[in-house]
Structure 1
Amino acid sequence: MSKFIKAFIGALVLALSFSAAPVLAHTDPEVAGYIPVDGGRVWYRLNGARHLGKKPAIIVMHGGPGGTHRSNMPYVKLSDTYPVILYDQLDTGNSDRPGDRRKWTVEHFVSEIDAIRRALDLKEVIIAGHSWGGTLAAEYAVRNPKGLKAAILSSPLLNTRQWIADNREWIEAMPEKERTAIITHEEAGTTNHPDYRAAEDAFYARHMCRKSPCPNADDRTGGPEKNNDVYEYMWGPTEFFAPGTLRDYDVTARLDAIQVPTLVICGEFDEAAPKSCRKYTGMIKGGDYHTIPDAGHSTMRENEALYLETVRAFLAGVRD
């Protein structure tokens, strides 16, 4: 029996061993279970199992930090062509929650990708990540591990200082009342004040999801809970204020090490600002940049059809 078949059977056994793992999405997984990582277990789901060993597996990293796999549910539609693996990072969603802050690092969360590959014996992979997930995808890609075929950096966080600067420009374009509330309460350390939170909502209506109500809300609700403690510890109280451990994060000086085709995609009014995403794309040999018109940071929710069309077109040009 081949090592691949053994690994897949092992995954099925693992899924059955944890049959209590909830089915939490509008497209049920073909396989679901837990994979051991440093500090606990991460929960994963797999669709497109028939393509395993024939096509590179797409491993998708969610945003946050502290988000869940449900924000990336549109990727499941690619399972008609590829194996697609979504998972919850340690300490969030369906995964174990040991609460050990020593594991809340870029290095740990990148190591989870290696653990998934080992557990499922994935020889060839395409990595995709949105927002903070784009951080992990970039960090993985700059290492150029064996079997990496392509990377998708979706509205990625690649440089915190640039992210904050770009969002300050978005804030400067807001009405004076909201702009003043944001600046005043951040300086005073009163970001829980109702005026600050109201201004935050107004910002998100422009740069998180521009449609009201935001489409496909069922993809993100009613499932595993995100972990706000991880988010606030590593990032901060809002998308545009980052006093957490990622405050000085910057991978841009290493982007030129990426050797695989890389798609950088973001919204026209994204928190991951188009001008910066274009600049980052230019740092990657074989980088391919696309904008989703009239979208904020929730690109997949605001125009899922165009987003997936763009991803499919990119993947069609990637050699298996």
Structure 2
Amino acid sequence: MSFYHPRETRIQTSAGSLWHCVYGGDKPGIPLLVLHGGPGFLSMPETVCELGNERPVHFYDQLGCGQSDKASDPSLYTPEGYVRELADVRQALGLDEVCLMGFSWGAMLAGLYLLNEKPTGVKAALFCGPLLSSPAWERDQRAYISRMPQEVQEAIFKGEESHDFGSDYQEAMMAYYRRHLCRLDPWPDFVADALEKLNMEIYFRLWGQSEFTISGLLKEYDLMGRLHEIEIPVLLTCGDFDEAGVGTVRHCQMAMPNAGMAVLPDASHLHHIEKSELFLMIVRNFLEEKL
């Protein structure tokens, strides 16, 4: 089937050339535009590409990420810059009608775009393992850390206090990630490969040393007080061990007038990979009902 054979292109923007691919480009459904996480990560089409049997599913690597160009000046790596880039990508692809799917930081990107740009033609949105409030995210991580083994907690606190993020901190970080980022054992090769390709310059600048040590430009970003402005249909998904805490995701869902929520059992931040069949069923039901 055609959706198994993605078409790759380049998108030219004022800041650089971006990698893009589409699955199911000839399908009739309203297109899905996928915004990857990070910041500084890259597209992982696995699982989500399966939706290309019903509609075009577009992926692109944000500036500085994956197969896209690196910025000529690191100061271009800003949340606002990525919002402008999203608008440029949508225009370049001719997506007059579209459904946005944002993973983690990609949900914040989608939220900023919807709230600040007030775009027309966005028919629905999916926020997966969503970062929508950095302060709430940080509180959730601190609660999770308090339930980690004592030696893991001590290594994290010592690293943060001394600003020594060496081997002890890194080992504690990975123990945390195996519980709250991806619970598969071993991690799929494509997940490990993608993490190795994370652009740390972007990650440090916008976020921090790890998922729980936050010091970057996004530290104070909080959309919670404006989520009521998002009136389109929204589906929020998370795992019950997700870095995006279930309670926080629930607060975000309740703040929006037309939002639903699904919690995937025994899953974490990469719940769409850990529980791919269930995730796809939930998403397909939402898209069929709302689009």
What is the CA RMSD across the aligned residues, in angstroms?
Answer: 1.8
Going from structure 1 to structure 2, the CA distance change for 1:223 and 1:255 (only over 3 Å counts) comes to closer
User: Pick from 184, 201, 205: which aligns with 2:158?
Assistant: 184
Query: Equivalent residue for 1:14?
Result: none
Q: Which runs of 5+ in 2 are unaligned?
A: none
Residue 38 of structure 1, CA deviation: 2.8
Please say if residues 45 and 85 of structure 1, whose CA atoms lie closer than 8 Å, have aligned partners that are also in contact.
yes
| Distance in 2, Cα, partners of 1:33 & 1:168 | 41
Residue 102 of structure 1, CA deviation: 2.3
Going from structure 1 to structure 2, the CA distance change for 1:134 and 1:151 (only over 3 Å counts) comes to same
Residue 76 of structure 1, CA deviation: 0.8
Query: Secondary structure at the residue paired with 2:68?
Result: coil
| Distance in 2, Cα, partners of 1:100 & 1:269 | 37
| Distance in 1, Cα, partners of 2:86 & 2:253 | 23
Please say if residues 141 and 151 of structure 1, whose CA atoms lie closer than 8 Å, have aligned partners that are also in contact.
no
Query: Secondary structure at the residue paired with 2:11?
Result: strand
Residue 114 of structure 1, CA deviation: 1.5
| Distance in 2, Cα, partners of 1:286 & 1:249 | 23
User: Pick from 67, 70, 76: which aligns with 2:41?
Assistant: 67
Query: Equivalent residue for 1:258?
Result: 230
| Distance in 1, Cα, partners of 2:179 & 2:194 | 25
Query: Secondary structure at the residue paired with 1:230?
Result: helix
Going from structure 1 to structure 2, the CA distance change for 1:179 and 1:304 (only over 3 Å counts) comes to same
Residue 217 of structure 1, CA deviation: 2.8
User: Pick from 23, 47, 51: which aligns with 1:47?
Assistant: 23
- What TM-score, normalized to structure 2? 0.94
Matched, 1:275 2:251: no
Q: Which runs of 5+ in 1 are unaligned?
A: 1-25
Structure 1 vs Structure 2: percent identity of aligned residues? 35
| Distance in 2, Cα, partners of 1:178 & 1:224 | 22
- What TM-score, normalized to structure 1? 0.86
Going from structure 1 to structure 2, the CA distance change for 1:224 and 1:275 (only over 3 Å counts) comes to closer
Query: Secondary structure at the residue paired with 2:46?
Result: helix
User: Pick from 176, 185, 193: which aligns with 1:212?
Assistant: 185
| Distance in 1, Cα, partners of 2:63 & 2:225 | 28
Residues 215-226 of structure 1: matches in 2 within 5 Å? 216-218=188-190, 221=193, 225-226=197-198
User: Pick from 95, 112, 127: which aligns with 1:153?
Assistant: 127
User: Pick from 284, 290, 294: which aligns with 2:262?
Assistant: 290
Query: Equivalent residue for 1:129?
Result: 102
Residues 80-91 of structure 1: matches in 2 within 5 Å? 80-91=53-64
Residue 299 of structure 1, CA deviation: 0.9
Query: Secondary structure at the residue paired with 1:153?
Result: strand
User: Pick from 87, 96, 108: which aligns with 2:69?
Assistant: 96
Residues 240-259 of structure 1: matches in 2 within 5 Å? 240-259=212-231
- Which whole-Å deviations, capped at 9, do the CAs of 1:131-154 have from their partners, x for residues lacking one? 111111222233441111000000
Please say if residues 256 and 284 of structure 1, whose CA atoms lie closer than 8 Å, have aligned partners that are also in contact.
yes
Query: Equivalent residue for 2:140?
Result: 166
Opposite residue 51 of structure 2, the aligned amino acid is: L
Query: Equivalent residue for 2:11?
Result: 35
Opposite residue 317 of structure 1, the aligned amino acid is: E
| Distance in 1, Cα, partners of 2:191 & 2:182 | 14
Please say if residues 268 and 294 of structure 1, whose CA atoms lie closer than 8 Å, have aligned partners that are also in contact.
yes
- Which whole-Å deviations, capped at 9, do the CAs of 1:61-111 have from their partners, x for residues lacking one? 1111111112x4321110111110001001111111124222211111112
Matched, 1:309 2:281: yes
- Which whole-Å deviations, capped at 9, do the CAs of 1:106-131 have from their partners, x for residues lacking one? 11111222112211211100000101
The structure that has the greater radius of gyration is 1
| Distance in 1, Cα, partners of 2:142 & 2:194 | 33
